[in-house]
Structure 1
Amino acid sequence: MPGVNADSRRATHSLPGRLAAPAGTLAAVAAAFAYVGAVDPNEPGHYPVCPLLHYTGLYCPGCGGLRSAHAFVHGDLTAALHANALAVLGYLAFFALWTVWVVHAVRGRPLRIDPRPGLVWSFGALLLVFTVVRNLPFGGWLHP
């Protein structure tokens, strides 16, 4: 439409239209959690083995993530934290970000995520430290 910028077109969409993307994302994540909640990753043969753990014996930052999600779905927060504490923080961060996304959609404002380089590097450093510590002898409490 000539003379109308993208932001004003976006703001005129109906509320259901603005909530379609957050609702679809939540449905996909809920379906994944439902599957992991129903199919126990502690039972052999349901999920592939982590190649890093299989070939080196080292835990990657994602090791235990499925067991963590399974325990989280079943309400066992202690087991979820023990399986992969960083994954539990990721679940909570997703929920917080999704909530902000929905609030923005209801208000008709697009959500723009533009993390500063320092935040991206900090997240990478957190993953690295988590990975190193969980593979050291004193980091046994972080093993899945």
Structure 2
Amino acid sequence: MNSILLLLIIGVAVLFFVLDPAQHEIFPQCLFHSLTGGYCPGCGSQRALHSLLHFDFAGVVGYNFLFLPAALFILYHYLYPLLNKAFGWKLPNLFYKKQTPLIVLAIVILFWIARNLPWYPFNVLAPVG
């Protein structure tokens, strides 16, 4: 099962590396944006992933400001046991702390609201392009 998931992840990564979601219509459009004209917390994530795979960190932040911190948080989840074992550290598993889901939910909701405000500095949170 893990090897199937790994192959799926690699396949998606290759697809997003080769094809730019901003230029190809095979990628799904955001239903929330299509219906309301507003930006959901995930708007720009496909373009951000494409930028990340090309090491364009300014593009990542420009498309979805929350994408890079979320990716680093997920990466931490998989690396902390390896770091603890390799260096004898005692890093906590932040994913399973009692307050983590509420903190993540609060950040996502605040980001969702802020990126739809038309005033500076909030309007820079909207996806570029």
Which TM-score band (shorter chain)? 0.7 to 0.9
Taking only the aligned residue pairs, the percentage that are identical comes to 24
How many residue pairs end up in the alignment? 120
Q: Return closer, same or farther for 1:100/1:26 CA change in 2, 3 Å cut-off.
A: farther
Match of residue 123 from structure 2: 140
Q: Which has the higher contact order (CA 8 A, sep 6+)?
A: 1
Match of residue 96 from structure 1: 76
Q: Which has the higher helix share?
A: 1
Cα RMSD (Å): 2.9
Structure 1 stretches of at least 4 aligned residues deviating more than 3 Å after TM superposition: 23-31, 101-106
**Structure 2: runs of 5 or more not aligned:** 87-92
**Counterparts in 2 of 1:116-127, with a 5 A limit?**
116=98, 118-127=99-108
What's the TM-score, normalizing by structure 2?
A: 0.78
Match of residue 115 from structure 1: 97
Question: Rg bigger for which structure?
Answer: 1
Match of residue 110 from structure 2: 129
Residue 33 of structure 2 is aligned with which of 45, 48, 53? 53
Alpha-carbon deviations, 1:55-82, whole Å to 9, x = none? Answer: 1001000000000000111111001111
Opposite residue 12 of structure 2, the aligned amino acid is A
Matched residue SS, 2:79? helix
Q: Return closer, same or farther for 1:26/1:99 CA change in 2, 3 Å cut-off.
A: farther
**Structure 1: runs of 5 or more not aligned:** 1-19, 107-111
Opposite residue 122 of structure 1, the aligned amino acid is I
